[in-house]
Amino acid sequence: MTLTYREALNQALCEEMRRDDRVFLIGEDVGYYQGAFKVSKGFVEEFGPRRVVDTPITELGFTGLAIGAAMAGLRPVVEVMTFNFAILAMDQIVNNAAKIRYMSGGQIGVPMVIRGPGSAAHQLGAQHSQSLEAWFCHVPGLKVVAPATPHDAKGLLKSAVRDENPVIFIEGQLLYPVKGEIGEGDYTIPLGLAEVKRTGTDITIIAYSKMLHQALEAAEILSREGIQAEVVDPRTLRPLDLDTLAASVKKTGKAVIVEEGWPFAGLGAQIAESLYGRVFDYLDGPIVRVTGRDVPMPYARNLEGAAVPDARRVVEAVHQVLNR
Amino acid sequence: MERSHLLRLYAQMLLIRRFEERSAEMYALGKIGGFCHLYIGEEAVAVGAVDALRPDDYVFSAYRDHGHCLARGSDPKRVMAELFGRAGGLCKGKGGSMHLVDAERRFMGGYAIVGGHLPLAAGVGFAVKYRGGDQVVLCFFGEGAVPSGACHETLNLAALWDLPVLFLCENNRYGMGTPVERAVALYADVAQNAAAHGIDSGRVDGMDVLAVREAVGKAVEQVRSGHRPYFLEATTYRFMGHSMADPAHGHYRTKAEVDEAKKRDPLLLLRTRMLGERLATEADFKTIEQDVGKIVREAVEFAEASPAPSESALEDDVYAAGGGPS
């Protein structure tokens, strides 16, 4: 079956809400408007306003409220219209959701999902075009997921809803219309499991979310040059499946990490550091990162294009590693 | 109210008073670390309010939380052990003074970012309503939280969605060193902040435990049967500094002001009243003093004897055991 990323998310959430009455969706315009990106299309009609809760534009308030509901045994799914707005709820996410289990000595858990689109889209300007996954990945107590395909989006979202921990689930804003083959029926994909998306022998390219597609495009270009790149998608960013990443790098001896976020203290730096600790002796040379440029996102089309990694930059990075 | 009930309220307030005095000593001895905010002077609020709850109701507090936790019936031994940072503490030594939690008693925790726990209380109220329950969530916070965005966002949501939350504002006049009139625009009637969101509100003398008991009893009933939030301001006063690091008086308030407030010590008020109305004798209070003394002594002994948490527990409870989907 072929579905769009958006439809896959819709299906995952719908199945989980049918399965478990404790699951509810809360966020801005998730109900009668059908979701800013139509992920919750048809939900309020099926589940009613008790379980599909439209909120005022108060991220701190409704995110904190959802955390409280999780503490009392419900399974909230918070939709942030975009992750840029989650910044307003950072105190709730970092100081409450992530810490309550630990601070209480394990007495109270916070099983919930905070989901919505991240990263740049088309000329949305500096405040609506950010890749903030490194912020969340920094915090013990949170899990962070960033699927790249419809199949992964569905299976991972279902696992996230069933997880006992707070899960930050970052969707690629430009991926919503992307179509892909999807697994049969009520499948889940465990959190913390990477996947080799293309096998190869010459170099490992690690990329997630929208950047996976740039990496796969680059791998196509490279294969025409006779370079067989292996492309690995961590899918879950915390906990990171270092075993799968390391196995690939051991095999190829070379690695490029692609991320859309800013370079300084970015997630790729962490992945590289973790890999150096595991596979240093297998590496033929330094790991190279391809990142977003170190600037607030500009509006102008050409400048925005220059700020976000594309397949060409991934190919250049591979050439650099291979000394070509 | 029956004599036995009155004596019980007195005993609970005295327990908090003596517990906090010993906490101060233990802090001075280095047995308790970090920040330690004592509740001395404010006992009538926690005791009167929690007395009006059912066991299945929920309670939230901020960082000055020892009194609320004890009033909810938590074992003083395990509270003191938590302050000591010991494995026998309520939170196995992971929480500390500002983060006491006793889930069994639905004491949902002390939170140390001002205003940050108000949305959590609303969320528990949301869950109660979602399930069609009739529990009430009692949320304590200081007047210092009232101007915060978290407070106003929460009041709006609670009113908008008819959540069963009793917001109990303990107005002790000072947010650390800043008096309420320099922090809250509507300082003369703090509850107006809730009225702006369409929430019914009231005010009570927070030094008079019987007045608190009565006001909270009515408010809880209104929240429970009316399925609406309520905002109650309890005017009170802390006799000690903001924390153990802060003198009781000096740069932001005078000794004379503190001494004046102590004339309305909540323990003194109830005791005088009971003696005056011949509801108790000096002997009754002496017995309570002895009983409470023993409880506090045993709490300290328990905390002293409790081992430090094992270093192997350092990474426990960051994530749910197993961590994966259930």
CATH of the domain at A290: 3.40.50.920
Residue A165 sits in the same domain as residue A61: yes
Q: Is A128 a catalytic residue?
A: yes
Q: Across all residues in chain B, what is the average pLDDT?
A: 96
* pLDDT value of residue B245: 86
Q: Residue B250: pLDDT above 90?
A: no
pLDDT-derived band at B44 (thresholds 50, 70, 90) equals very high
Q: Which range of residues forms the domain containing residue A110?
A: 2-181
Q: Quick one: A204 and A168 in the same domain?
A: no
Instruction: Write down the pLDDT at residue B324.
Output: 41
Nearest residue on chain A to B89, alpha-carbon basis: A105
For residue B108, the chain A residues in CB contact (below 8 A) are 71, 108
Confidence of residue B170 (pLDDT cuts 50, 70, 90): very high
Mean pLDDT (whole number) for A214-231: 98
Which of A153, A181, A209 represents a domain boundary (last residue)? A181
For residues A282 and A253, give the distance between their C-alpha atoms in angstroms, rounded to a whole number.
5
Whether A311 is covered by a domain: the verdict is yes
Q: Do A69 and B317 touch (CB under 8 A)?
A: no
Confidence of residue A225 (pLDDT cuts 50, 70, 90): very high
Pair (A175, A210) in one structural domain: no
Q: How far apart are CA B112 and CA B123, in angstroms?
A: 18
**Is residue A156 in some structural domain?**
yes
Give the nearest partner residue to B154 out of A61, A111, A141, using CB atoms.
A61
Position B322 scores a pLDDT of 64
Report yes or no on A119 lying in a domain: yes
Domain membership flag for residue A187: no
Chain A residues within 8 A of B197 when measuring between CB atoms: none
Above 90 in pLDDT, residue A154?
Answer: yes
Report pLDDT digits (tens) over B66-91. Answer: 999 999 999 999 999 999 999 999 99
Q: Point out the domain boundary residue: A156, A181, A206.
A: A181
| pLDDT tens sequence across B175-209 | 999 999 999 999 999 999 999 999 999 999 999 99
> A201 and A177, same structural domain?
no
Per cent of chain B over pLDDT 70 is: 98
Cα angle B111, A83, A306 (rounded to 5 degrees) comes to 140
Q: Are residues A6 and A131 in the same domain?
A: yes
Q: What is the pLDDT of residue B323?
A: 46
Tell me the chain B residues in contact with residue A91 when contact means C-beta distances shorter than 8 Å: 113, 116, 150
Instruction: Return the pLDDT at A85.
Output: 98
Is B149 touching A (CB cutoff 8 A)?
yes
pLDDT above 90 covers a percentage of chain B that reads 95
Most B-contacting residue of A99, A102, A189 (CB-CB within 10 A), to test interface: A102
Identify the pLDDT of residue A53: 98
Tens of pLDDT along A277-322?
Answer: 999 999 999 999 999 999 999 999 999 999 999 999 999 999 999 9
Residue A159 resides in a domain: yes
Domain of residue A152, CATH code: 3.40.50.970
For residue A308, being part of any structural domain is answered with yes
Q: Are residues A175 and A312 in the same domain?
A: no
The pLDDT score that the predictor gives to residue B321 is: 85
Q: Quick check: A69 and B160 CB within 8 A?
A: no
Taking residue A320's Cβ as centre, other Cβ atoms within 10 Å add up to: 14
Q: Which residue has the tokens 């019936």?
A: B73
Residue B263, min C-alpha distance to chain A (Å): 38
Same domain, A142 and A247: no
pLDDT > 60? residue B123? yes
A-chain CB neighbours of B128 within 8 Å are: 72
The answer to the question of residue A52 being in a domain is: yes
Number of C-beta neighbours around residue A221 at 10 A:
15
**Residues in A touching B127 (Cβ below 8 Å):** 68-69, 72-74
Cβ A107–B101 below 8 Å, yes or no? yes
Among A149, A181, A213, residue at a domain's last position? A181
Rg (CA), chain A: 19
Judgement on whether residues A175 and A208 belong to the same structural domain of the protein:
no
Residues A282 and A223 in one domain: yes
A260 annotated active-site = no
**Judgement on whether residues A103 and A137 belong to the same structural domain of the protein:** yes
At residue A23 the predicted structure's pLDDT band, cuts being 50, 70 and 90, is very high
> Which of 69-128 (B) contact A at CB < 8 A?
89-95, 99, 101-103, 108-109, 111, 113, 116-128
Quote the pTM value.
0.97
The catalytic position among A15, A128, A138, A195 is A128
Mark out the alpha helices in chain B (DSSP H runs). Answer: 3-28, 43-50, 66-71, 76-84, 118-131, 149-160, 192-195, 209-226, 255-262, 266-276, 282-305
Same domain assignment for residues A84 and A204: no
Structural domains of chain B ordered from first start:
3-305 (3.40.50.970)
Do A203 and A251 lie in a common domain? yes
Domains of chain A: total: 2
Q: What is the pLDDT of residue B325?
A: 38
CA distances in angstroms from A41 to A25, A46, A114, B156, B252, listed in the order given: 12, 10, 18, 27, 57
Task: Tell me the two tokens of residue A255.
Answer: 């690695």
Task: Say what the pLDDT of residue A324 is.
Answer: 75
Residue type at position B291: D
Residue A188 lies in a domain: no
State the pairing for strand pair A2-4/A179-181.
Answer: antiparallel
